[in-house]
Structure 1
Amino acid sequence: MPKLPPALGVPSLPFAPDLPGTVRAAGAVLGLLLIAGCSAGPTPVPVPSPAPEVAAACADLIKALPAKVLDAERRETTPKSALTAAYGDPPIEMTCGVTPPAGMAEAQSQCFEVNGVGWFAKEVQNGFIFTTIGRSLYFEVAVPSKYSPEANALTDVSDAVQKHNKLVTPCT
């Protein structure tokens, strides 16, 4: 059985080269726990302060989001909020109840549609931020460039958006 390097802080056992199976199994479990302890924790996502009726509608939308986006698992956000969600590492961040981004007022002509949901896209340094357009709630999806093409994330959330974010004006 190979010895662990001393850098890990685990003493080697030169006097017990043939460890019984239960000790080896315990070592394997400890190794898995160490690996799990290194996994990404809650991701910080800023929480907006919308009106109470918007917050209530947004909470329903966030609850309805899928378990995975682009095969990335849903993860906790900090601070905990019914208005935010995150997936994967680096995180795909979702926030409901945001204010409309700059340039959106004249962006109706820049609206693009994914599965019946209109989006305004803004390229940022590390990816894209998409915001629903023509809907009663402003729902934002920030997708890092690691997930290129970033707009593919919108296909995974479009069903929840259609069901919980009322269409006001379709894309033109």
Structure 2
Amino acid sequence: MNFFRHRRRTVVGPPALALLIAVSGCSSADDSASAAVPSPGAGGTKLCRELDRVLPAEVDDQDRRDPEPASALTAGWGDPAIILRCGVVRPSKMDDPEADGVEVDGVGWLLEKQDDGSFRFTTTLRKAYVEVTIPEGRTADGMAPLVDLAPAIKKAVPEGIAD
């Protein structure tokens, strides 16, 4: 009698099991990167939306794969993803006269090495702050991602001081 009860439970179980597999399959198959979406003011948002329209399809020979949640203020390329966030808050590190900076094809960047081995670059002297994070596994190409992004940033985000 226990055998039949057990079999009966397994008959009821497959639909639930199938649903569980489908749900977990969706989440495990969805290995896209995630990025916090900035919340700039109206002027910054307008500039960032324009930047999104002119961003390249490839950066550092990697196809565009935008992070979740989808937003015109974020973009990504490759896996592990190079992540761009537009309209970020001015980093406090910009107040440090000893901070590392670099200019790449006419765009100034604050350079910050992160604890996880990645590098975060934030534009300087632009009407909106644009942040690019290059994961540790993608840093061998140096500044190549910034070279690819410079034309779009120069076109969409004018020089000046962000609000």
| TM-score category (smaller protein) | 0.7 to 0.9
Counterpart check, 1:52 vs 2:42: yes
Contact 2:100 2:112 in 1 (8 A): no
**What SS does the aligned partner of 2:121 have?**
strand
Mapped to 2, the partners of 1:129 and 1:153 lie a distance apart of 12
Alignment of 1:5-44 (within 5 A): 41-44=31-34
Counterpart check, 1:162 vs 2:139: no
Which of the numbers 119, 127, 141 marks the counterpart of 1:128?
119
Give the corresponding residue for 1:137: 128
Mapped to 1, the partners of 2:103 and 2:127 lie a distance apart of 16
In the superposition, the TM-score normalised over structure 2's length comes to 0.74
RMSD: 2.0
**Unpaired segments ≥5 residues, structure 1:** 1-37
Mapped to 2, the partners of 1:113 and 1:153 lie a distance apart of 13
Give the corresponding residue for 2:137: 146
**What SS does the aligned partner of 2:52 have?**
helix
Query: Alpha-carbon deviation of 1:118?
Result: 0.4
Deviations 1:58-80 (A, max 9, x none): 01112211000110110132111
Contact 1:143 1:150 in 2 (8 A): no
Deviations 1:117-153 (A, max 9, x none): 0000000123100000111110000001222244221
Give the corresponding residue for 2:104: 114
**What SS does the aligned partner of 1:46 have?**
coil
**What SS does the aligned partner of 1:77 have?**
coil
Amino acid at match of 1:98: V
**Unpaired segments ≥5 residues, structure 2:** 1-27
Counterparts in 2 of 1:71 and 1:40: CA distance versus 1, 3 Å: farther
Amino acid at match of 1:154: L
Mapped to 2, the partners of 1:74 and 1:99 lie a distance apart of 24
Amino acid at match of 1:94: L
Which of the numbers 72, 93, 106 marks the counterpart of 1:103?
93
Of structures 1 and 2, the one with the larger relative CO (CA 8 A, separation 6+) is 2
Moved segments of 4+, more than 6 Å: none
Structure (1/2) with the larger helix percentage: 2
